[in-house]
Amino acid sequence: MATYSLVIRRLMICSVTIVVSRAMTSPLLALLLSTRLGLNQQDIGLLMGIAVFIATLLGLYGGYIIDRLEKRKLLILAMLSSAIGFLLLTFASDLYLTTLTLVITEAASALFLIGSKAIISENLPVGERAKVFSLRYTLTNVGYATGPMVGVVIAGHMQLAPFLIASAIAFTSVFLMIGIPPTQRDDSHKPLSFLTTLHTLRSDRTLILFTSGSLLSTIVHGRYTLYLSQFLLVAYKPAEALKILSAVLACNAITVIVMQYQVGRFLKREQLRYWIVLGTLLFIAGLVGFSLADSLLGWCVAMFVFTLGEMIIYPCEFLFIDTIAPDALRGSYYGAQNLAAFGGALSPVICGYLLINAAPASMFYALGALTAIGGSLCFVSGRRVAANPTPPAPLL
């Protein structure tokens, strides 16, 4: 990180702190909603699904706003919104206020993610972006690996303390962003209206194909912890299921932290569609491994293969949009690609249905088929990147 500019270094640090604040509260959120509002697990899932759905739609407009306004100020707004949201959750006693608060925190997270990717693209030469996207993903995985453990330990002494600490972390991170120079706006192009921007996005066949493929792939890798836990609880006794889940999550975190940056160094935008094919094949191999695993070692080997696919697909998705997005619409393109997050919301619904109505292992084969279709759509859309690696000019 020392080789990068002050903007990139502080943005990386903020990415970690924001992830840590979210990760500290994520394993405790269901407990909070259950004890404060008296909701059952189905209602909690529905409430979280509604919040994620609304926040994902808002992310599309957030990407448009990022193109129009000063990006640093918007990231500061996102971090302040996260801090306020975590604080308000400690007062959760009304269903509507709680839903609004969850929407705020989810939308703030989406805005920060889209804005940070846009700033990375603006402040780095083309050849450096893949490595930084991979480094950012590695650092955020450190946050996801440590945050839940810290949150659970702290909650053991004071149940609401993790939410208060998460709020303080998000608020403190604001000062890191205040200390960097404002991002420069490009006034060489006439700003487009939101409706015109939507028309531009809708007319980009490459973007639509890639986002559709990413959505199908996100069903597989977006919330894999949920469907793995669902499957394990069906196939094993609770104690054995918890043991296996803990082992595969540790395997995932260690693999990403150790290998992600090294893998990212080899990603080239001219070969993106072939890297996506490789990542898709690794996903399929990992899913088949899950279906056949009959020991702890088998589960860990399957997770290692699955994680290799994850390490390729994540930076490839960022780099693909960076390649096809016009400079004046970069935030809007990232906001559109963020719609693939719907796949993560669909995953537990689809997997829950299959676990109830079919043989448990068939879930993994259905997921393999979905990621194969998604990878195929991404490969087809990648022809434009291979043929023309320079982003097109925006429509005026």
Model confidence pLDDT, tens digit, residues 40-93: 656 776 777 788 788 888 888 888 888 787 888 888 999 999 999 999 888 877
Bigger pLDDT: 330 or 102?
A: 102
Backbone angle region of 70, left / alpha / beta, with phi > 0 → left and psi within -120 to 50 → alpha: beta
Alpha-carbon separation of residue 270 from 22, 131, 178, 314 (angstroms): 35, 15, 36, 17
State residue 357's pLDDT score.
Answer: 84
State mean pLDDT over 234-253.
Answer: 81
**Token representation of residue 141:** 């995985």
- pLDDT of 111 > 80? The answer is yes
State residue 301's pLDDT score.
Answer: 94
% of the chain residues with pLDDT over 70? 91
State residue 392's pLDDT score.
Answer: 43
SS3 call for 308: helix
CA 60 from centre of chain: 15
Q: How far apart are CA 235 and CA 194, in angstroms?
A: 49
Q: What is the band of 99 on the pLDDT scale with cuts at 50, 70, 90?
A: confident
**DSSP per residue over 29-98, as a string?**
HHHHHHHHH---HHHHHHHHHHHHHHHHHHHHHHHHHHHHS-HHHHHHHHHHHHHHHHHHHTT--SHHHH
State residue 391's pLDDT score.
Answer: 46
Amino acid type, 320: F
User: Are the CB atoms for 286 and 273 separated by under 8 Å?
Assistant: no
Q: How many CB atoms lie within 10 A of CB 212?
A: 18
State mean pLDDT over 218-240.
Answer: 81
User: Are the CB atoms for 34 and 197 separated by under 8 Å?
Assistant: no
